[in-house]
Amino acid sequence: MSWIDEVKWDAQGLVPVIAQEAASNDVLMFAWMDREALLKTVESGRAVYFSRSRQKLWFKGEESGHVQLVHEVRLDCDNDVVLLKVTQQGHDPSIACHTGRHSCFFQLYRDGAWQSVEPVLKNPESIYSSANKP
Amino acid sequence: MSWIDEVKWDAQGLVPVIAQEAASNDVLMFAWMDREALLKTVESGRAVYFSRSRQKLWFKGEESGHVQLVHEVRLDCDNDVVLLKVTQQGHDPSIACHTGRHSCFFQLYRDGAWQSVEPVLKNPESIYSSANKP
């Protein structure tokens, strides 16, 4: 059986994907892949996800320039979750989140509320301006 | 609005959850929570998931003794994914995976195949023997 057929896709043909920064081990973001996205990720060495809201392939960084260079693709014990080890490119310090933050996981539970605990490194409006489009 | 109501549950009333080891930043496992599981996690300081296969709350470590002490609960930018920072208890070196490995993400893509690259630290049969049940 081919490696791609060993992946257990859900009812929508997707698997959850965790993107982890290789150098820091920080969890940067969470997204989804379909079969084509995973194939393209492995072939290109760049993270390609499946956008559920837009229902199409999402080449990470296609608008923002925040491309993810993929060092490792891992699969969990149940064959239904993927972990990528990446270098987050396009800005220093690295930005993975569309809000302009390093990581999407910037809301910390504290005293009965979610508190934003990570700084915005770049204005999201300038991230998605036409100047950054490839 | 209460913090718990800010979480965007999916059609099944669940959110994906990533468990990351606080000391090493290693991604240990991926699971799901419903509203009750997240409330119990925050209240108890121990990871409580929702088992989709058993359709009930899953107190991590209830059979294995591999309890997860929760240091941080984080929410992503879209309010629909949770990240836990945990100390994985019950064995040294730590075991989060039911296969007896440190992490569930032990299958690495290499040369067209998934290769197991992490050692089994404890025989799964002994992890789930009656001796380990609380």
The pLDDT, as a whole number, for residue A132 is 52
Is the predicted pLDDT of residue B131 greater than 70, yes or no?
Answer: no
**For A70, left (φ over 0), alpha (ψ -120 to 50), or beta?**
beta
Q: Which residue of B has its CA nearest to A70?
A: B109
For the domain made up of A3-127, give the CATH fold.
Ubiquitin-like (UB roll) (3.10.20)
CA distance B54 to chain A (A): 15
Of the residues B30, B40, B41, B97, the best mutation for testing chain A's interface (the one with the most A CB atoms within 10 Å of its CB) is B30
**Band of pLDDT at residue A128, cut at 50, 70 and 90:** confident
Chain B residues within 8 Å of chain A (Cβ atoms): 2-3, 6, 16, 18, 20, 24-27, 29-30, 42, 72-79, 81, 83, 97-99, 101, 104-109, 112-114
Is the predicted pLDDT of residue A20 greater than 60, yes or no?
Answer: yes
Per-residue pLDDT of B41-81, as tens digits, reads 999 999 999 999 999 999 999 999 999 999 999 999 999 99
Mean pLDDT of chain A: 95
Q: What is the mean pLDDT of residues B93-110?
A: 97
Among the listed residues B65, B69, B73, B74, the one whose alpha carbon sits nearest the alpha carbon of residue B45: B69
CB contact under 8 A, A112 and B30: no
The dihedral built from the CA positions of residue B8, A65, A44 and A58, taken in this order, carries a sign that is positive
d(C-alpha B45, C-alpha B43), whole Å: 6
| Residue B6 per-residue DSSP state | G
**Band of pLDDT at residue B1, cut at 50, 70 and 90:** confident
Strands A15-21 and A82-88: what pairing? parallel
CA distance B112 to chain A (A): 6
The pLDDT, as a whole number, for residue B128 is 85
- CB pairs < 8 Å spanning A and B: 94
The pLDDT, as a whole number, for residue B130 is 55
B132 touches B64 (CB < 8 A): yes
Q: How far is CA A94 from CA A6, A21, A103, B40, B94, in A?
A: 33, 9, 9, 34, 30
d(C-alpha B32, C-alpha B57), whole Å: 10
Per-residue pLDDT of A45-74, as tens digits, reads 999 999 999 999 999 999 999 999 999 999
Per-residue pLDDT of B84-94, as tens digits, reads 999 999 999 99
Q: Which tops the pLDDT comparison, A133 or B57?
A: B57
CA distance B46 to chain A (A): 14
Q: What is the mean pLDDT of residues A30-37?
A: 98
The amino acid sitting at B86 is: V
Residues of B in contact with A42 (CB under 8 A): 109
Q: What is the mean pLDDT of residues B103-109?
A: 98
For B31, residues 6+ apart whose C-beta sits below 8 A from its C-beta are B16, B17, B19, B49, B50, B58, B60
Global pTM? 0.96
CB contact under 8 A, A29 and B76: yes
The ranges assigned to domains in chain A are: 3-127
Is the predicted pLDDT of residue A131 greater than 90, yes or no?
Answer: no
The pLDDT, as a whole number, for residue B134 is 46
Q: Determine what percent of chain A is predicted with pLDDT higher than 70.
A: 96
Of the residues B42, B83, B98, B110, the best mutation for testing chain A's interface (the one with the most A CB atoms within 10 Å of its CB) is B83
Q: How far apart are the first and last CA of chain B?
A: 37
